[in-house]
Amino acid sequence: MAGPFKKTEELAAHACEVMSRQPGADARYGQYGKEYCALHYYSVEDAAYYLSYLSDIGGDGAGGSKYCTVPTSLHHLKEGEVIILGPGHTHSINMEMSHIDLGAGRAEGFSPLGPSRFFNETTKRVWDRQLYAFYRDTGGKCHAFSYNYANRVVAALREGKWIPIGKAEGYWGSFKAFDGQDWELPSK
């Protein structure tokens, strides 16, 4: 759907804009909103990052939570090896990742994608899988976050850079903010 991007920051910024502009995806819809899912991946041939087509298959879960089903396949137009790096989804209720997003079950290896940290022989690189979450607030600003399944660190995309803001702890994924950090930037 989108790419190529040379950096994950560029991919996430673009994905946030595209995904959170889908019908019902932004904060104006709140509990009546809808989640959209996609995969983000790396093309070895292009040495670039991409976003898959979106899935809006999902609905409402327990307690009013939203969910979507992550695409199960890619349609990459060029031949060559691709490395699936993780899912991404929108939030319409709030920007914070849920305990389901941050739970230890995710950190132990996001199935069916495989282990949370792995070595790729072609690139000679160790890769960490990450979950992206996107939230467009009522003022129209898009917020992008990543959750690293291997080290459980949550980062926010701020001024074009990933800034670690906290860490998921325990089996249920309690979020513990790093000093001076939180989901939103403090007002100046």
In the structure, what pLDDT confidence band is assigned to residue 183 with cuts at 50, 70 and 90? very high
- Domain assignment of residue 107, yes or no: yes
User: Which domain covers residue 58, as residue numbers?
Assistant: 2-177
What per-residue confidence (pLDDT) applies to 176?
96
- Domain assignment of residue 119, yes or no: yes
What per-residue confidence (pLDDT) applies to 60?
64
Stretch 66-78: mean pLDDT = 73
Whether the full predicted model's pTM is greater than 0.75, yes or no, is yes
- Domain assignment of residue 84, yes or no: yes
Q: What's the total number of domains in the chain?
A: 1
- Domain assignment of residue 61, yes or no: yes
Q: Residue 114 pLDDT more than 90? A: no
Write the DSSP assignment of 115-143 as a string of letters: -SEEEETTTTEEEE-EEEEEEE-TTS-EE
3-state secondary structure of 151: coil
What per-residue confidence (pLDDT) applies to 65?
66
Peptide bond into 186 cis (omega under 30): no
* Beta bridge mates, 172: none
Q: What is the pLDDT of residues 5-60, one digit of tens each?
A: 999 999 999 999 999 998 888 888 888 888 889 999 999 999 999 999 888 776 66
- Domain assignment of residue 187, yes or no: no
- Domain assignment of residue 155, yes or no: yes
Q: Which amino acid is at 106?
A: R
- Domain assignment of residue 184, yes or no: no
Residue 179 has which token pair?
Answer: 């000093």
What per-residue confidence (pLDDT) applies to 177?
95
- Domain assignment of residue 182, yes or no: no
Give dist(CA 134, CA 58) in Å, integer. 17
Which range has the top average pLDDT, 88-97, 161-170, 179-188?
Answer: 161-170
What are the φ and ψ backbone dihedral angles of 105, each rounded to 5 degrees? -60, -35
Give dist(CA 140, CA 136) in Å, integer. 6
Write the DSSP assignment of 68-101 as a string of letters: EPPPS----SS-S-EEEEEEEEEESS-SSPPHHH
